[in-house]
Structure 1
């Protein structure tokens, strides 16, 4: 069981929180609660600051500690908060929100080409990519148009939890070949785009997403390249903002 409450999972739009320092060293800082997303599933770890009375630490990255808590990595030379200190953790919100828009777009990319499986992904604030097991991909212009149609539909995005047994009974929910949903906790988080009764996309995911697809804004597929006999890599950018 983790020592730290994962506030990013409760509300991805919370940009800061008050917390108590549980552990502090050059190896990283652990808080009893954090809005920072630890690097996982192709989504980068959050950056930002941790401030306390008399000091502030720049957070260069966030990763998972051995027990799964968010481990905030200090920037080189940064001051460290003392254990037990009351702090305010603040995200670089613009960067995080871009990751949320990008991550949701990659889910829509799966929806735009049903029946194929992702073999890898990397989310970035400026550019993201998704690799597919796809022998004959459509033209990048077609993919761009289809993605923007789905975005313009302004579909709501929600989540629900299912048991690992339910996932085993519905293996088609898993759309990735390279990354499997984390197991061991007994429950799997499903992210749904669209209405519950007829979702545009539904798949296991632990990352952060926007509330509605319209929030993403226009996107563009800037490049498609071959990475093997059937593996194709699709590069996407946010065309607005």
Structure 2
């Protein structure tokens, strides 16, 4: 199974690894991946691999049927042979913007405390779909509350909970359509704030900034009707 290096430190931009397999589709499987694989509404990371005098641009990363991570080349090219040691180099600006948007969406689920039915992340904006029959009446107030939480510069941290503990605390799961992966014995939690300042705690496998102040100012964009009970709330990074 691919070691998830991005879990060890989301701020690492370079890492060594060894090629352990090629997928039938032309992907590259490493023994440890610095690249986050598409999932949970967050796109896979991009960047490039280096080995010897060679360099290969990576467009994205995806999960394989076996649970590994495959790096997808941006174009057809010679792949590093199995057994080759390579250096992974992230497109850091793109990853960091995903981290900022992703963490901001966690905060959005705090200022709109309703069940989440979907979501997505990009470098410029993100959105959450809520089980919300009526659109919020005051976007300006929601935006002010969201930016107030960002300005508190709260610590973002991870912890782990057992499958059994999560089953006993279903209120931690905010998403209705996507359940956190269970069966491995433990589930990763992302908390925002510590002790009496903790404002959020929920299962999540994505990458996040270390403190909310790193998100920067955000703007709430369109609120779209997506079915009888669903409203889509868009947020945008301001820089």
State TM-score, norm by structure 1.
0.95
1:226 is matched with 225
3-state secondary structure, aligned to 2:199: strand
2:203 is matched with 204
1:91 is matched with 90
2:175 is matched with 176
- Structure 1: runs of 5 or more not aligned: none
1:146 is matched with 145
Distance 1:154 1:231 in 2: 31
Distance 1:11 1:197 in 2: 26
Q: Which moved more, 1:148-157 or 1:189-198?
A: 189-198
- The offset of 1:197, in angstroms, is 4.2
3-state secondary structure, aligned to 1:155: coil
3-state secondary structure, aligned to 2:198: strand
**Pairs aligned (count):** 237
State which of 10, 13, 28 in structure 2 corresponds to 1:12.
10
Moved over 4 A (4+): none
- The offset of 1:5, in angstroms, is 1.0
1:120 is matched with 118
2:22 is matched with 24
Distance 1:23 1:229 in 2: 46
- Structure 2: runs of 5 or more not aligned: none
- The offset of 1:67, in angstroms, is 2.5
Q: Please list the CA deviations of residues 98-155 of structure 1 after superposition, one character each: whole Å capped at 9, or x if unmatched.
A: 00000000100011122x1110001111121110001233222222111100000100
Q: Please list the CA deviations of residues 59-116 of structure 1 after superposition, one character each: whole Å capped at 9, or x if unmatched.
A: 11100122222210111223311111111001100000000000000100011122x1
1:80 is matched with 79
RMSD: 1.2
Q: Which moved more, 1:76-85 or 1:6-15?
A: 76-85
Distance 1:167 1:99 in 2: 26
3-state secondary structure, aligned to 1:78: coil
Alignment of 1:58-77 (within 5 A): 58-77=57-76
Distance 2:127 2:204 in 1: 17
